[in-house]
Amino acid sequence: KAYSQKISIHLKSVYLDNVFREIQRQTDYLFLYTAEEIKKAGKVNVDIKNSTIEEAMQQCLSSTGLGFHIVDKTIVLDPNPATADKPAARQRITGTVTHQETKEPLIGVSILLKGTKTATVSDNKGHFEIDAQPGQTLVFTYIGFAVKEMVIGSQTSINVLLQEQPKSVSEVVVVGYGTTKRTDLTGAVGTVNASDLGKVTATNLGQAIQGRMSGVQVTQTSGQPGAGADIKVRGVGSVKSGNSPLVLVDGFVGSMNDVDADDVESITVLKDASAAAIYGSRAANGVLLVTTKKGKAGKPAVAFKSENGWQSLTKKPNYLNGPDWARHQNEARKYNGKSPFWVDATAPETITQWTDWSDYVFRTAPIQDYHLGINGGTDKTKYAVGIGYINQRGIIIGTNFDRVNARINFEQEITDRIRTGINLSYIRSAYTTTITAFSSSQPAALNGITAAPPTIPAYNPDGLPGAPRPNYPGEAYIANTTWKTPSIANDILDNLSRSNKTFGNLFAEVDIVKGLKYKLVVNGAVTNNFNEEWTGKWAIYSPADVGHTTPLAQGATASLRNVAKESYVWEVQNLLTYVRTFGRHNINALLGVSYEKSDGYQFDASKTDFPNNDLRVLGAGNTLGAINGGYVDPYSLTSQFGRINYSYNDRYLLQANIRRDGSSVFAPGKQQGVFPSFSAGWRVSQESFMQQLKAVSNLKIRASWGQLGNANIPAYAWISTIDVTNGAVFGNPQTRQPAYFPTQMANENIKWETTTTTDLGLELGLFNERLTFEGDIYNKKTTDMLLDATIPFTAGYTAGPVVNIGEVQNKGWEILLRYQDNIGDFNYSGSFNLSHNKNKLVNLGGVKSLLTGPLKSDVGLPLYSYWGFQTDGIWRTADEINANPHRSGDRPGMVRFVDLNNDKQITDADKTVIGSYMPKYVYGFNAAFSWRGIDVSILFQGEKDKDMLVESVFGGNGEGEDNNIDRYYWDNRAILDKDGNVISGTTPAAGAVKGDAIWSSYLVQDASYLRIKNLQIGYTLPKSWIAPLKIQSLRVYANATNLVTWTKFIGYDPEMKPSEPSGINVYSRGGVDAYPVAKSITLGARLIF
C-alpha cells in the first residue's frame, strides 16, 4: 500500500488520539503513546493541508508540550522533548513585501505561519506584522507570483521580494464559468495578464493582446481613434455568420470596447473545442474571457496612472508634388490621346506653390489617458473601483475620441457560507469627425488626398476652401464630382457617434454541503447609441471672383441625419459546482442553466434644407428626408450545460463538456443544438519514472475533440417574411393601397453551423519552469455552413433561403516558447509565439462560388481569396503585343496579363488566385529585462505570407489621369519613345492603368510585415526618494507603439486589412479610404498611495 504521505486534517477541539487516527488513515505511520499522555495534552485544534508528517506532528503537538520522534514509520511521543525543552518565546516579526522587479510594494499578500493557522495580509504599503518563533517558516503567497518561504531566524524584521510568475505551473486560469489551475487544463488556452495589458497605449483592449498569444490574430484594421481591433482565433470558418470570437466580460456577453485595459486583471482565450465547448453554440470562433480587477483584503490602495503622448502616421505617404503631378497628368493625357493641360504659361515648371494634401490631412495628434483605481476591503468585504478617461485625437484632422468609464466591484461575505457581490460598469464614448464620412455617400476626404489637385490651395485668401482656377483645366474636374477636396470636406462635415453603455451583474453564492456550491448570477446591459451626420452648405469661388458671384461648385442645401438606438440584453445563470477530492481522485463538476434575451429599438431620421450652418437639430430642417429603422432584431437563448473534470493522482486528466442551446433564430422545434466535447491530459512529469529527469519540471500531453456552434445566424431565415412597405395604386382618383408579398424564401430546416475541432497539445517546462514550451496542432472543420442559396427567378422570391450546405476547414499549428531567469538583480525573460493556419473552402453544396469585387470564395480555395489575372510586367513593344495573347486595346506601357490556360486569348478563364489577405503565419516576440528599478520590454509582432490588393496608390481608380500617385510608380513608370514603344521603366506608363475593375496580380502587394509593436522603458523610483512624499511607489515610463515597421508594402500601413465582404468595403483601396494605423509615443507615470 503506497501513500502520498501528505496530510490534510481539519479538526477542532479534539483529543490527540483522534488526530492520530486520522493521520494513520491518510498515511502508513503507526503511533506509540499512552492514554495518559493524550489526556494530559488536552484538546487541540488542527488545521493542516498537504503537510508532511513532521509538520503535522509539530502543529498538533505545539500547544501540548509534547515532542515526538520517528522510528521506522512509527511515531513515538516524547513526554519531555529534547529538541525543544520549552517553547521559544513568540516574537513580533515585521516586514515589507515588494515586487522583485518593479520594487513596488505588494498589497494584500497573504502571509502564513507554516503549519499553523496564523496568517495576515500585507497592507497598502506592503507592510505586515505577525507573531512567530524563530525556526518557524513564513509562507508568502500572492496571485501571479511565486510562493516564497522564509525561515525566521533571530531577526524581527524581514523584507521579502516576490517574483512575478509570468506563466508558471501554479497559475490559476479563468475558464468558462470558473477558474482552474493551468496544470489541470486539457484544452488549448491562452492568457494575458494585467502586467502585459498595461504596456500598450491602446484605446481598445483588443490591441493590448496583439502579438502576445499564439493562435490569435489581432489586427488593428483602422487607426481611427477608439476603433476596435479585429480578432480571429484560428482562422475563419463562416461566410455568413461572422468570424469574431465571443467576448465575455466577467462572464457576460460584451465587447473588447467595453472595458478600460487598466481595469482588467486577465484575458483568457479559449481556442479549442474542449476549452470553449461550455459556451456551445457561440464558441465556434473561440471565446475571449475578460476578467476585471476585484477587491482585495487590506487597507485601501489607491493607484493612479497618467499617460500623455503623441501619435503620428507610421509612414508618411510619398505623393507627387505639384510640378510632378502636372507632368503626370500631361503624360497620362498624351498617352490616352488627349491634349495636355499644363503647357506654355501653365507648364509644370511654372508651378511653384502647391498643397501637399497629405500634410493637410495628417497631423501629429495628442493622446491622454488617466486611470484611478481604488482597491481594498476586509476578509469579508472587498471592493474595487476604477475610473478612467481617455482623450485621443486622431492623426487625421478633425477626428477626436473621448471615453469616460467607471466601474465598481463589491463583494460581501454574508455568512461563512454565503457570498454576494455586484459589479457595475458605465462607459461612455464619443467619436467626432469633421472630415471623414460615416456613410459612403458622403464625400470622403481621405480620397481627396489623391483626388484633389495639389495645385489647388487648401484655402483661398477669402478663407473659403481652395477652388480650381477657371483657366487651369487640369484643376477643373473637382467641380463636377462628389469627390471634394479635403478642405471642403473638413469645412462642411460634422459627424458624431456617441455610445453609452451600462452593464453589470449581481451574484450570490451559497455553500450547500462540502464541495457543493450554488451560484446565481444576473447579468444585464443597456446600450444607447446616437449618431449625427451633418453636411453643411458650401460653395467655392475662383480666387479671381472676389465678389463671390459665381460658385465654381457648391452644395446648396445642408442635411442632417440622426440615428438613435437603444438595446438591452439580460441573462440569468444558475450554476451548481461540486469540487471534491477523494484520496487521489479529484472531481470538479459544473452544472448550469441560463436564459438570455435581447431586444431594442432604433430610430433614424434625416432632413435637408437648413436655414444656415448653425442650426443643427432636426427641427430646423425644412424638408423631411427619410425616417427609417425603428427596430432591433430580438433574440433569446436558453442553455443547459455541464462539465466534469476528473483527475487521478494529478496525472491523468479527463474532461467532458456538454451544452445544449436553444435559440430563437430557428423554427419552433428546430431550436435546440447539442455541443459535446471531450479531452484528456497526461502529466507525464508527475510519473515516478520522470523523477530522475530533474531538468523536466513539467510535461503534459493533451488531446481534445469537440463540436461548437456559430450562433450569429440571421434571425427569421426559417420563416417567410412578408414585406409590408409596398403599395399598388387603384381607383379614380388613384390611391395607393397596401400591397404585401413575401420577399425571402424560408428554410424551416435551418440549423446551427457546427465546427468540429480536434486538438493535440504538448506542454513542457524545463529547468524549474525557466524554459517553457507549449505547442498545439489542430483541425477545425465547419460543416453545415450557412450560405444564401441561389434560386431561379421562377421561384418569385427576390432572395433565396439561407441553407446549411458549405464546409470550411482550418488546419494549423501554434507554438509558444518562453524563457525566464535572473542573474542577481538582473531579470530577463523572452517569449516567442508563432501560429500557422491554412484555410480552405471544402464544399459549397452546389451554390455558385461567391465573388465580391476581387474576393472569391470557391471550393478548394481559401475563403475570400483575391481572384484575378496573373500579370507579367508591362508590354514593351507593339510587336510583343501582337505576338502574344493580349486584350483588345493593349498598348505598350500597359500591364501584361498571362494567358494561363494557353488558349491564345485573355478571357475570364485565365483568372486565378492572386493572393490572400489572411496571413499564413502570425508571430510575436517579446523580451523583458529588469535591473533594480529599471525595466525594459519590447514586443515584436508580425504577419507573414499575407497579401493586400490595393488600388489607389497607383492612381488607377478611374480618374487615373488626374489622381496623384505614389512616387514609386512615377519614378519607375514606363517611358515611351516616339513610336510608342517602351524604352525604360518597369511599372505602367502614366495613364495606362484604368480603374475598370480588372483585378490582377499587378494590384496585389506583399503585405507581410514585422514591427516593433511595443517598446516600454520604465523606472521605479527608489523608496528613499519618494517616502517623504507619502507615496508608496512611483514608476515613470516611456512607451512606444508601432515604433518601427519592416515591410515591402507601399501604402500607409500593411496592418490595415480589408474586412470581410459586407457592404461596400470589400477590399482595401490601399489605405486611401481606410484610416491609417498610427504610431504613438507616450510618457506615463503610475503612482500608488
Partner 1 sequence: KRDFLSSYPKNNLTATNYYKTEDDFTSAVNGIYDALQADRELSFFPMADIATPFAGFGDNRFGQYDNGIFGVTDGWVMAQTFWVAWYRVVFRANLVLDHIDNKEVTISTAAHDRLKGEALFLRSLAYFYLTNLYGDVPLITRELKYEELLTPRNKKAEVVAAIIADLKTAETLLPSVTQYRSKKALLGRASKGAAKSLLGKVYVYEKRWPEAEAKLNEVINVDKDYSLEPQFLDLFWPSTENGKESIFEIQYAGGVKEGNSYVRFAAPNTASLISTAGFGYVTPTEDYTNLFETTNGFPVTSTFVSRVAAGSAYRYTFTHQSADPAFDPSKPYSNRDPRLAWTVWYENTPYISEFQARTGQSGVNYLQQYANENGHNTVKYIIGKLDLTAGDSPGNMILIRYADVLLLYAETLIELNRNTEAAAYINSVRQRPSVAMPTLQTLETVQNRTIIADQQAMRKFLREERYRELAFEWGHLYMDQIRWDVFADEIVKYWTAKKYGGSNPALGSFDKRHYLWPIPAEERNKNPQLTQNPGY
Binding site for partner 1 (CB under 8 A): 595, 597, 630-631, 633-638, 662-665, 668, 671, 715-716, 719-724, 726-742, 745-747, 789-797, 800-801, 803, 848
Is 1084:1037 a contact under the CB 8 Å cutoff?
yes
Rank residues 154 and 794 by Cβ distance to partner 1 and give the closer one: 794
Rank residues 582 and 793 by Cβ distance to partner 1 and give the closer one: 793
**Shortest CB 720 distance to partner 1, Å:** 4
**Shortest CB 793 distance to partner 1, Å:** 4
Rank residues 551 and 662 by Cβ distance to partner 1 and give the closer one: 662
Rank residues 624 and 1027 by Cβ distance to partner 1 and give the closer one: 624
Neighbouring CB atoms inside 10 A of 123's CB total: 22
**Shortest CB 556 distance to partner 1, Å:** 17
Task: Look up cell 446565481; give the residue.
Answer: 520
d(CA 289, CA 247): 6
**Shortest CB 748 distance to partner 1, Å:** 9
Rank residues 644 and 746 by Cβ distance to partner 1 and give the closer one: 746
- Write the DSSP string, 936-1002: EEEEEEEEES-EEE--GGGT-SS-TTTS--BHHHHHTB-EE-TTS-EEE-SBPPTT----S---BGG
Rank residues 18 and 664 by Cβ distance to partner 1 and give the closer one: 664
Rank residues 740 and 968 by Cβ distance to partner 1 and give the closer one: 740
**Shortest CB 624 distance to partner 1, Å:** 14
Positive/negative CA dihedral, 202, 205, 206, 210: positive
Q: Which residues have C-beta within 8 Å of that of residue 662, sequence separation ≥ 6? A: 637, 638, 639, 671, 672, 673
Rank residues 63 and 721 by Cβ distance to partner 1 and give the closer one: 721
Element containing residue 839 per DSSP (H, E): strand 826-843
**Shortest CB 632 distance to partner 1, Å:** 8
**Shortest CB 603 distance to partner 1, Å:** 13
Instruction: Give the angle 441-444-446 at the CA atoms, nearest 5°.
Output: 155
Is 836:814 a contact under the CB 8 Å cutoff?
yes
Please tell me the number of Cα atoms within 13 Å of 748 on its side-chain side. Answer: 2
Element containing residue 878 per DSSP (H, E): helix 878-883
**Shortest CB 713 distance to partner 1, Å:** 12
**Shortest CB 676 distance to partner 1, Å:** 21
**Shortest CB 660 distance to partner 1, Å:** 12
Rank residues 733 and 1028 by Cβ distance to partner 1 and give the closer one: 733
**Shortest CB 914 distance to partner 1, Å:** 24
> Torsion-angle region of residue 790: left (phi > 0), alpha (psi -120 to 50) or beta?
beta
Rank residues 356 and 596 by Cβ distance to partner 1 and give the closer one: 596
d(CA 247, CA 264): 14
Rank residues 487 and 744 by Cβ distance to partner 1 and give the closer one: 744
Is 369:204 a contact under the CB 8 Å cutoff?
no
**Shortest CB 637 distance to partner 1, Å:** 8
Rank residues 788 and 899 by Cβ distance to partner 1 and give the closer one: 788
How many angstroms separate the Cα of 344 from the Cα of each of 349, 350, 763?
10, 9, 74
**Shortest CB 597 distance to partner 1, Å:** 7
Rank residues 715 and 1043 by Cβ distance to partner 1 and give the closer one: 715
**Shortest CB 557 distance to partner 1, Å:** 17
Cα 302 versus chain centre, distance: 28
Rank residues 612 and 849 by Cβ distance to partner 1 and give the closer one: 849
**Shortest CB 725 distance to partner 1, Å:** 8
d(CA 420, CA 383): 12
Task: Look up cell 496544470; give the residue.
Answer: 183
Neighbouring CB atoms inside 10 A of 623's CB total: 11
List, in sequence order, every beta strand (DSSP E) within 101-156.
110-113, 119-121, 127-132, 137-141, 148-151
Is 513:548 a contact under the CB 8 Å cutoff?
no
- Write the DSSP string, 598-666: EEEEEEEEEEE--SSSS--SGGG-SEEEEEE------EEEEEEEEEEEEEETTTEEEEEEEEEEEETTS
d(CA 684, CA 702): 10
List, in sequence order, every beta strand (DSSP E) within 148-196.
148-151, 157-162, 172-175, 178-181, 189-193
Q: Which residues have C-beta within 8 Å of that of residue 1074, sequence separation ≥ 6? A: 221, 222, 446, 1056, 1068
Is 1044:932 a contact under the CB 8 Å cutoff?
no
Closest CA to 1007 of 967, 1057, 971, 1044: 1057
d(CA 392, CA 390): 6
Rank residues 769 and 788 by Cβ distance to partner 1 and give the closer one: 788
Closest CA to 891 of 996, 979, 995, 998: 979
**Shortest CB 1071 distance to partner 1, Å:** 35
**Shortest CB 392 distance to partner 1, Å:** 37
Closest CA to 679 of 709, 710, 646, 640: 646
**Shortest CB 522 distance to partner 1, Å:** 16
Rank residues 493 and 637 by Cβ distance to partner 1 and give the closer one: 637
Rank residues 747 and 857 by Cβ distance to partner 1 and give the closer one: 747
Rank residues 430 and 522 by Cβ distance to partner 1 and give the closer one: 522
Please tell me the number of Cα atoms within 13 Å of 170 on its side-chain side. Answer: 11
How many angstroms separate the Cα of 302 from the Cα of each of 262, 830, 1025, 1031?
13, 31, 19, 10
